[in-house]
Amino acid sequence: MTNETENKNQQFPLLEKINTPDDVKQMSKEEIESLAEEIRKFLIHRITENGGHLASNLGVVELTLAIHRVFSTPHDHVIFDVGHQSYIHKLLTGRRDRFDSLRQGGGISGFPKISESEHDCFGTGHSSTSLSAALGFAESDKLRGSDAYTVCVFGDGAYTGGMIHEALNNCRKNLRLIIILNENEMSISKNIGRFAKSLSKLRSSKGYFRTKNATASFLQKIPLVGKKLFSGLLKMKMLLKSALYGSNYFENLGLYYLGPVDGNNEEAVEQLLREAKKTGQSCVVHLKTKKGKGYPPAEATPDRFHGMSPAGKSIPTQRNFSEEMGAILTEVANKNEKICAITAAMASGTGLEQFRVAHPERFYDVGIAEEHAVTFAAGLAANGYRPVVAIYSTFLQRAYDNIIHDVALQQLPVVFCIDRAGLNETDGATHHGIFDVAFLSEIPNLHLYTPITRRALSNAMHESLQSNLPCAIRYPNGYESEEVVSAFYEDKNDHRIRTRNDYLHEKNNSPESQDAILITDGRIVAEALKAKAQFRQHGKSLGLILLEQLKPYEKIAGEIAPMLPQKPCKILFLEEEIRAGGMGMMLSDALTPYDVMKNKDIHIMALDDEFGIQTCCEPIRRSVGLDDAHILHILNH
């Protein structure tokens, strides 16, 4: 045994004994309390060092322990909404020894993943999907006659998403479905005040359930009048509870409701879950937890500790693209009172905090409801305002119909600021922004911009806000590259959105002097610049064309054609997106009518009918074949 292993065993002696959920079931109350403390220390140590989601996981330690003490996975099914709070679940289900590989190439995912463990029954990564999936499990178990329970865990943030309500509307009473509402920020319940808190405490005690069950059994056994008496008292109880608490949304839907209780009290949560099992019907268990529990910095500012970067990672002093977008939009809105900003519960993540503070009356956070965000923007635009919807690429997928039907079809001037475009290494396939170019390219009446510098982002924003058509501006998670600025922006006073190249402005260079041409957009241009330098070492010249706008493709093709050599050569389209319907396919088609294309060897480098799943301990671009080495291989063969 190495010294490092010995130190780990000494630091986390109880956690080191947990290899399966059955080990958790054998522990005493005192051991569970100590285990919860160890898990928090383990998470704080590992996540602050290696990165990941911290605050949300610290808040559900006791909840996850209680779930695994009451239920038995994989026979029972546990589904976490979004799934970024599933780290404790992973620790308890045999993945502790691999935890250092979390969110790394070839390592364990930061979200539940079917292919990773039999205890992960359903993969999640986007909000509000859990209950619909859980309902599918519960209904199919009923069809096959299984005695398995399905446990769905979602937070009050997910409750703002429409899918949760759609699923609740379809929950039948006679299912083995346990719905855990984990309230950690927004108060949903009207249960406020001392009396309500006392009654809640009473209703979650063991004595309350024993008395309730005994009374029900006694009344129903009274000859002739017992069942009617019990039914009458039950109705009286519901009327009294309604008067004291107000209407309960879940009970109005026919679901049995328990809670709320302190979700950071393992014993109370465990007791409530055991009672939920006894009901024999679909049941809502309402818990209240504290994000960042046990780590004062995360408790004070949970948003800051939602997603953490690895320790020691240098933070540039400049603004990232999200923050830059927010600053540009705020400045423009200072002069134009018609500009509004919309986010789907991601004000900080999309850089809109500055706008929210400067223009609170024109800032709208609609919750996790992307479809509503887009159609709401369409309504604002139709009534004379200029809405800007800031949204992650991977979440924009949820509003595709709304973009087509409510915005583009009516030619409304909505601006979509598409954040996190391209491959996103740590969050993996659920968060890759690789589909937006393809699905937006098919939509008429929409312009698509791809800035990769702060200047280009500003230009795209100003041009979009002056357009009478819907516009989309996509940019990656990250910062401007000085190397890219130097290569493509020889004129610092050039404030136009246009197709740029790195060779026509070079002395004695022309299209005919290039041995090959590479056309690209977005941050993957960094790989193209590395490939160009290596290509030059072989005595060959690679001309790079950087696109700041993609759509309309016919316009861009007209700008590119004069930049191409007349002689036979390779033309390589490089994109950090899927091939089908992507930039390379659309632009090469738009270039086909030009005579200059008749003798060209065309290649498209893109994600080829895949999700970009990292299967090895390599950078994501190398793993999917989109790095400088793969570029050189195509150029040289």
Pair 265, 366 in one domain: no
Pair 146, 253 in one domain: yes
- Is 504 among the domain residues? yes
Q: What is the 3-state secondary structure (H, E, C) of 164-219?
A: HHHHHCCCCCCCCEEEEEEECCCCCCCCCCHHHHHHHHHHCCHHHHHHHHHHHHHH
Q: Which residue matches tokens 């895949």?
A: 610
Q: Give per-residue pLDDT as tens, 238-260.
A: 555 555 445 577 888 888 999 88
- Is 564 among the domain residues? yes
Pair 462, 600 in one domain: no
pTM of the model: 0.82
Band of pLDDT at residue 232, cut at 50, 70 and 90: low
Closest CA to 222 of 232, 208, 235: 232
- Is 347 among the domain residues? yes
Pair 44, 137 in one domain: yes
Band of pLDDT at residue 127, cut at 50, 70 and 90: confident
Pair 131, 263 in one domain: yes
Whether 622 is catalytic is: no
Question: Do residues 326 and 354 make contact, with C-beta atoms less than 8 angstroms apart?
Answer: yes
Domain boundary at 255, 272, 307, which? 307
Pair 297, 431 in one domain: no
Q: Give per-residue pLDDT as tens, 550-571.
A: 999 999 999 999 999 999 999 9
608: tokens are 């080829």
Above 80 in pLDDT, residue 313? no
Q: Please give the pLDDT value at position 24.
A: 96
- Is 567 among the domain residues? yes
The residue annotated as part of the active site, out of 103, 113, 398, 523, is 398
The residue annotated as part of the active site, out of 69, 113, 176, 291, is 291
Whether 398 is catalytic is: yes
Pair 420, 514 in one domain: no
The total number of residues shown for the chain amounts to 637
Pair 287, 402 in one domain: no
Band of pLDDT at residue 135, cut at 50, 70 and 90: very high
CATH, residue 565: 3.40.50.920
Q: What is the 3-state secondary structure (H, E, C) of 363-404?
A: EEECCCCHHHHHHHHHHHHHCCCEEEEEEEHHHHHHHHHHHH
- Is 221 among the domain residues? no
Range of the domain at 264: 3-190+246-307
- State mean pLDDT over 134-148: 95
Pair 286, 333 in one domain: no
- Is 400 among the domain residues? yes
CATH, residue 286: 3.40.50.970
What's the domain count of the chain?
Answer: 3
Whether 291 is catalytic is: yes
Pair 466, 503 in one domain: no
Q: Please give the pLDDT value at position 145.
A: 96
Question: Do residues 128 and 368 make contact, with C-beta atoms less than 8 angstroms apart?
Answer: yes
- State mean pLDDT over 441-446: 95
Q: What is the distance between the alpha carbons of residues 603 and 137, in angstroms, rounded to a whole number?
A: 44
Q: What is the distance between the alpha carbons of residues 301 and 418, in angstroms, rounded to a whole number?
A: 26
Closest CA to 334 of 465, 446, 178, 223: 465
Please report the beta strands in 321-379, taking only residues with DSSP state E, as ranges in sequence order: 339-343, 363-365
Domain boundary at 281, 307, 333, which? 307
Domain boundary at 440, 474, 508, which? 474
- Is 229 among the domain residues? no
560 backbone dihedrals φ, ψ, rounded to 5°: -80, -40
Higher-pLDDT residue of 403 and 498 is 403
Q: Give per-residue pLDDT as tens, 157-210.
A: 887 888 888 999 999 999 999 999 998 864 333 333 343 344 344 455 555 555
Pair 444, 541 in one domain: no
374: tokens are 């887009």
Q: What is the distance between the alpha carbons of residues 281 and 290, in angstroms, rounded to a whole number?
A: 28
The residue annotated as part of the active site, out of 324, 353, 370, 463, is 370
**Phi-psi map region of 445: left, alpha, beta (phi>0 left; psi -120 to 50 alpha):** left
- Is 19 among the domain residues? yes
- Residue 89 neighbours by CB under 8 Å, 6+ apart: 64, 67, 68, 78, 80, 112, 119
- State mean pLDDT over 317-330: 94
Pair 155, 256 in one domain: yes
Question: Which of 246-250, 447-451, 533-537, 578-582 has the weakest average pLDDT?
Answer: 246-250
